Amino acid sequence: MSSPPTDTPLISGGNPPLGGGGLNTASPSPWVFLTGFSTLALISGISIGLAKVVTQFFALAIGADAFQIGLIMAMESIGMVLVTVPAGFIIARFGARRVYAIASLGPLIVNLLLPFASGVIGLAVGRLVIGLCIPFRIVSMNSTFLAQLNRIGVGKAGWYRGALTAGLALIGPALATVLTQHVDYIWSFAIIAALFGIMAVGSLYFFTDEAPLATVPKGLSANGIVSEARTLLRNKDVSESCVIEFISSATGSLFAAFIIVVAAHLNGLTKEDGVHIMLFHGAMTVLALFGAGRLTRTLNKWIAYGIGLVLGTLALIILGTASGFAALAIGAVLLSAGQSIVHLVNMRLLSTHPGEKSKVSGLFNLSSMTGSSVGALAGGIVSKFAGVQSIYLLWLPVLWLVAGYLFFVLKGTNPHEA
């Protein structure tokens, strides 16, 4: 991989007026930025994990069945997919700080209103509105972190995702369980809304707006967005990272969507054991993202992708043939390690792309979201024709087909590029 381009936009006091507001007129020191930004990512993960569990509990309380709960939660994903790529272009024009702060107001208001929803339709509409706001927040965070990564050090490429995962997969669900036992739903949703308010204010101090590239047109027409997205995908680092993120997210979603059911079907295990296995996966993800950045910062990307593929293959084989808790936990840990390695390398590569980070982040996050949807949907379809545990084994050909496409079709002309 070539050295970072010298024209990568720097984040400094030369921010464009639209990103202004008087705050953050100069970049904070790398450590101050990393600490503040990671704290915001942690709070963001907590708010998402907390909201998902509280919403499901509330849906059960008002009489929703399993299908209706699935529909309610799916509406958020639908909203996210619809606006992820446009979000990147809007952020490129108006700045991450302003867009993130405004987008945080939507979930804040909706969460204050959700406990007064009397039926499934009200909850579904509320989650859809939240889903339309979340991509503006995610892409703002991702683009800000990518733009700063060369300054804070690529060895810390996993800190953002690690902090987010710690809140989303560990602290948020645990807090939701405690919260719903001690306060009513009005106060539970009010606390979630307050977290969004804290993030909106905090973003004004720790988010940064990259200087727009003078050669990039600022139109936001559908044709312009599609045309520029195609141009971005012609860059091999971008296209390869998006393909890898898609299949990695699909595999992770396949694991998460069915591990509880798999555990419940094995002799001697329960649904609670499946939750514990998910916690093993989440904990390993956090440890790997925080600790493995230094190990992967100089690793050849094809070696890293190969390691991720081998770990993912072993994980799926173990998960598909396990007969006890220990084996399932080992499979979950191996899968997490493989996903973390490829994510760290992808972040390193995207941080050196000379284009506006928000647009690249929009494509990258769209790959992640669609991958998550495809993995869960494909697993659900296959489960109608095969045993639920065999889903993991049947996913192996898909994983290797995508790996072959990536290596033989998308791979750059220089096989030794980092």
User: Token match 């790996």: residue?
Assistant: 403
Contacts 24+ apart (CB under 8 A), 107-111: 107/47, 107/51, 107/133, 107/134, 107/192, 107/193, 107/196, 108/193, 108/196, 108/197, 108/200, 109/193, 111/51, 111/189, 111/190, 111/192, 111/193, 111/196
What is the C-alpha separation between 360 and 51, in angstroms, rounded? 28
12 pLDDT higher than 50: no
What is the C-alpha separation between 56 and 71, in angstroms, rounded? 11
215 pLDDT higher than 60: no
Percent of the chain exceeding pLDDT 70 equals 86
What is the C-alpha separation between 89 and 75, in angstroms, rounded? 23
Please give the residue that has the higher pLDDT: either 107 or 180: 107
Question: Which pLDDT value is given to residue 296?
Answer: 80
3-state secondary structure of 72: helix
Chain segment 123-182, per-residue pLDDT in tens: 999 999 999 999 899 889 988 888 888 888 888 888 988 999 899 888 988 888 788 889
R_g (Cα) of the chain, nearest Å = 21
Domains of the chain: 25-212 (1.20.1250.20), 228-413 (1.20.1250.20)
Chain segment 278-327, per-residue pLDDT in tens: 889 989 999 999 888 877 877 888 899 999 999 999 999 999 999 999 99
**Poorest-pLDDT segment among 65-79, 146-160, 319-333, 395-409:** 65-79
C-alpha separations of 363 from 96, 173, 238, 246, 276 in Å: 16, 28, 9, 11, 33
Question: Which pLDDT value is given to residue 410?
Answer: 66
Q: What is the 3-state secondary structure (H, E, C) of 346-406?
A: HHHHHHCCCCCHHHHHHHHHHHHHHHHHHHHHHHHHHCCCCCCCHHHHHCHHHHHHHHHHH
What average pLDDT does the chain have?
83
What is the C-alpha separation between 165 and 49, in angstroms, rounded? 9
Half-sphere exposure of 412 (CA within 13 A, CB side): 18
How many beta carbons lie within 10 A of that of residue 252, not counting itself?
A: 22
How many beta carbons lie within 10 A of that of residue 32, not counting itself?
A: 12
